[in-house]
Structure 1
Amino acid sequence: MRWRVNPGMVIDGFELRENLGTGGMAQLWAVSREDDPAPLIMKIPMLIDSDDPLPIVCFETEQMIMPRLSGPHVPRFVATGPLDPMPYIVMERIPGASLKSRLDEAPLPWSEVAAIGAKVAHALHDLHRQHVIHLDIKPSNVMIRDTGEAVLIDYGFSRHEYLPDLLAEEFREPFGTTPYMAPEQVLQDRADPRSDLFALGVMMYVFVTGERPFGNPRGGEIRRRLWRDPVPPRALNPDCPRWLQEVILRCLEVDPDERYATAALLALDLENPEQVRLTERAERLERDGGVKTFRRWLKARKAQPLETPDIAGHLSRAPIILAAIDLSPGNEDLAEALRRMVGRILSIEGEARIACVNVLKTSRIAVDILEDQDGNSLHVQRLVQLRHWGVSLDIPQERITCSVLEAPDPAAALVDYARRNNVDHIVIGARASSALRRYLGSVSSQVVAEAPCSVTVVRTPKDRRAENGQDASA
């Protein structure tokens, strides 16, 4: 069924301006409304085959989910219309084309692929925090704002944790775009946010090699996803660095537990390539041999959907902990107190990623001297100290990153790092109060006031005693 619409037609106050195209399940129209000067787009579902309920079910799913989404990584929702007389969704029109327009340019420079991947990973983490799994990540469903953020569109196949999953209720088949579909989706498991990371891995593979890692399977061929690994990217494009192959192949693991636990952790690796821990994945130049593939095939014959916790619970299993460490001389006892506190947190958060961060304070006006009297880089010295501190935590080194930030305002630098990297918890040291610190404001108090996440402030026993003594004398 196609609803008869024409340019100039007005639907609930929206004037149809231009037909932007027709996809498999919907028409897209540029529309305007008197009280909304922003560019808008109207999506009108259609039934190509009146016996096929899929387009309407997908539309109802999108109609339920979109009003509940917010932030820069989704189109702004404007309005929706009921099935009778005509269903529609009106949303913000993102300028420009989707990433599909870049496919003809592939392979892209690897640095650009990593940048695109990081942007999409940040968008996915934001979406997952809103209890939604997209389940149809592909270049045509990703757009980039003028401000640089990735925008995820088309939520017809998506699942919201707290809403009915109409697709799962009404159909007994996997849904998604087959070249990008995760193995668990083949098994009709729609509850794992790591499915989106698999699809992002496919997209990065395509952009770095110009080839689809699993081709374009049809019908029962899609089950090969459960046992067949792709040709390693470096075998198709030798310019792909080992660290990027490591990241991509980790995203494409059959077992979700062997992928990144969260999109935030994936983004962290894509933005810090020097800290990606290389495994045998990075060295591969051929697919797995027949014996290993045969074992996966035997396992796939008995494969069942995995039991996945709720989305929020899944994200909380692998939080990013920022340890803000003061490495200046005389603060060794505070660094040790901080290490003990992080150790206690790690005993509870068994899969946490630790971001060890130190701020090298620079001047707002004067020329900074970033070398010691012997000409050695202070930045490098701090980084070496950070890594020694991280080793003392006694956890796998792939779960630790170390960063030295150069900034005139340490508190602002820490808060900005936490915001950009989706940090879940900041642990920061603080000295006992002094009149000067109370007047100017300490770094820790500014971080507590401005951080986008939980903050734990650590003090040494000596400073706690000094503070208590000061309070008693007052």
Structure 2
Amino acid sequence: MSVAPLIETGMVVDDFTIGEVVHRGGMAVLWRCTHPEIPFPLLMKVPRLADGEDPAAIVSFEMEQMILPRLSGPHVPKTFGVGDFSSRPYIVVEEIAGETLLPKLKSLPLEAAEVATIGISLATALDSLHRQNVIHLDLKPSNILFRPSGEAVLIDYGLSHHTDLPDLMAEQFRLPYGTAPYMAPEQVLGVRNYRRSDIFALGVLMYFFATAVRPFGDPVSLKGLKERLWRDPIPPRRWRADIPAWLQEVILRCLEPNPEQRYPTAAQVAFDLKNPDQIVLTARRQRLHQDSWLTALRRKYSRDTYAPAQKLASQSKFAAAPIVLVALDPTTINGPLGRALRDKLQSTLAATPDARAVCMTVLNNNVGTLDQNPSVSSPNRHVARIVALKHWAKPLGLGEQAISYHVPEALNTAEAILEYARANHVDHIIMGARAESTMRNLLGSVSAQVSAHAPCSVTVVRRREWPVEQAKADE
């Protein structure tokens, strides 16, 4: 391999004019650069190639070159150029104007509301990444930027895993790579293909921001790293009694050593942080002490401690864990259509056991709506709708962590459903189509409006899909 001379200020590389050095890291150097056809600031990342440099720097750079151009959306830097290793390796990306999370470390601990806000932003970014088949595997303050518009941007994909690409890091190195305080237990054991590893790192970050203490310290040896497989962290509320129980619940669930006991998806973490009143509180919420040393030692020498990682090592794809929203009309919830919708939700959940169901009915404040009863006050209507939703869902037999209920007030039912779906990263909407009516024909059906504008898949249960005997009885 014949590599061109080192980058220098003023050089022109494939029409990119090199500016000043922005950062010299352990594996690469960042340069500002410009391009005559790109009207905003750019960064060129160049790997360290001198003799004696860590060979992982080259391999991780190859991984980043493969992964970054495949990513899109506001949570990743846009890629504008890639240089081949056979001549001059580089990656050119947009320069994000915002700051990383590093300056926040001077202000720790943060208030619970700010921890939750940061957690929502990071979970949303991770969800976007995971939906593009990428696991970051190096989530830490210096790898998180915020755009001026507020979106979190995840950078540095040298240690990442793409489920559809060769994993050069896993193929060439046996020791785990990552940043010690944030590595998940299975990652310490060499498992690189599980998205819940990023959820563990998110839990570490939220714990750190809430307490100013890293839950597992900063170990420097493999032995120290492995401690997190069997030693639970001190609960956050031991450090700060004012941390809400719901926030401790979320953080400790993210930090479960068995990945199967963590949140299935980052979208579900964001969902809970946005809706703390909907979080099902378990024994995690009230813990103030670690498990006893005897319990920890038993866990350490148990085969079950390492079993999840061994199981995951052979997996390259992940079971879906979608958020499924079923939108119910209060005028048909107890009739044939309501029963048909419940059957549809049940079959959908049976196919995706890790899914979370959200039951919604909209309190429509439009004077022209049928869902209007002047004799009943709005708060009472809200309570009545919640009770009706829970009664409707009872035959499903779902645990509290698998279902929640929402009754928003809005002038436009379709817009309320769409707004909720967008804000909470809903994956699938199930709803019914009501019978024909003059108002429906004039204004357009709610189901048609939702289907036309939804950010996800929509299943509309129509009249011909209702159970025949029930439909007849209803006529």
TM-score under structure 2 length normalisation = 0.90
Residues 245 and 165 of structure 1: CA distance in aligned 2, closer, same or farther (over 3 Å): same
Could you list the structure 1 runs, at least 4 aligned residues long, displaced by more than 6 angstroms after superposition. Answer: 461-466
- Give the alignment of 1:165-244 within 5 angstroms: 165-219=167-221, 220-244=223-247
Superimposed CA distance per residue, residues 87-108 of structure 1 (whole angstroms, 9 cap, x where no aligned partner): 1100011112111221111111
- Counterpart pick for 2:13 among 11, 14, 28: 11
Give structure 2 stretches of 5+ with no counterpart.
Answer: none
Contact 1:118 / 1:267 at 8 angstroms: preserved in 2? yes
Deviates more, 1:145-154 or 1:273-282: 145-154
Aligned-pair CA distance for 1:237: 1.3
**Contact 2:333–2:392 (CA under 8 A) maintained in structure 1:** no
Partner deviation per Cα, 1:338-361 (whole Å, 9 max, x = no partner): 223222323333222101112222
Distance 1:203 1:151 in 2: 15
Q: Which amino acid aligns with 1:34?
A: P
Q: Distance in 2 between matches of 1:460 and 1:90?
A: 54
* 1:434 Cα deviation from its structure 2 partner: 3.3
| Aligned-partner residue type, residue 134 of structure 1 | H
The alpha-carbon deviation at position 298 of structure 1 amounts to: 0.6
**Residue 26 of structure 1 pairs with residue 28 of structure 2:** yes
Give the 3 Å change call, closer, same or farther, for CA 370–377 of structure 1 in structure 2.
farther
Asked if structure 2 preserves the Cα contact closer than 8 Å seen for 1:321 and 1:355, the reply is yes
Match of 2:114 in 1: 112
3-state SS in 2 of match to 1:89: strand
- What's the counterpart of residue 472 of structure 1? none
Q: 1:85 to 1:265 in 2, by over 3 A?
A: same
Q: Which amino acid aligns with 1:68?
A: R
Q: Distance in 2 between matches of 1:463 and 1:352?
A: 24
Asked whether the 8 Å contact 1:243–1:282 carries over to 2, the reply is yes
Counterparts of 1:15-414 in structure 2 under 5 Å? 15-47=17-49, 50=52, 52-219=54-221, 220-299=223-302, 303=306, 305-308=309-312, 313-316=317-320, 318-328=321-331, 332-363=335-366, 372-373=375-376, 376-414=379-417
Give the 3-state SS of the residue equivalent to 2:22 in structure 1.
strand
Cα pair 2:414 2:449 within 8 Å, conserved:
yes
User: TM-score, normalized by length of structure 1?
Assistant: 0.91
AA at the equivalent of 2:61: F
Change (3 A) 1:35 1:158: same
CA distance in 1, matches of 2:465, 2:176: 61
Superposed CA offset, 1:379-410 (max 9, x none): 34333333333334211011111112222222
Native 8 Å contact 1:106 1:208 kept in 2: yes
After superposition, the CA RMSD in angstroms is 2.8
Cα distance between partner residues in 2 of 1:300 and 1:254? 14
1:363-390 deviations in whole A, cap 9, x for unaligned? 599xxx9985457443343333333333
CA distance in 1, matches of 2:461, 2:107: 51
8 Å Cα contact 2:72/2:78 also seen in 1: yes
Match of 1:458 in 2: 461
Aligned residues: 464
Assess if the C-alpha contact under 8 Å between 1:391 and 1:397 holds in 2: no
The answer to whether the 8 A contact 2:196-2:259 is kept is yes
Matched to 2:142, the amino acid is S
TM-superposed CA distance for 1:22, in Å, is: 0.9
Identity, % of aligned pairs? 49
Shift of 1:306: 3.2
Unaligned runs of 5+ in 1: 470-474
Inter-CA distance 440–231: structure 2 relative to 1 (3 Å threshold): same
Alpha-carbon distance between aligned partners in 2 of 1:108 and 1:2, rounded to the nearest angstrom: 47
State the Cα deviation string for residues 114-139 of structure 1 (Å, max 9, x = none): 11111111111111111111110111
Offset of residue 285 of structure 1:
0.4
How many angstroms does 1:331 deviate by?
A: 6.1
Displacement of 1:334 after TM fit? 3.0
Q: Partners in 2 of 1:324 and 1:206 — Cα distance?
A: 38
Cα separation, 1, equivalents of 2:116 and 2:417: 24
**For the Cα contact (< 8 Å) 2:143–2:154, is it kept in 1?**
yes
CA distance in 2, matches of 1:436, 1:465: 26
Within the alignment, does 1:422 sit opposite 2:425 as a pair? yes
Counterpart Cα distance in 2 of 1:69 and 1:251: 25
* 1:307 maps to amino acid: K
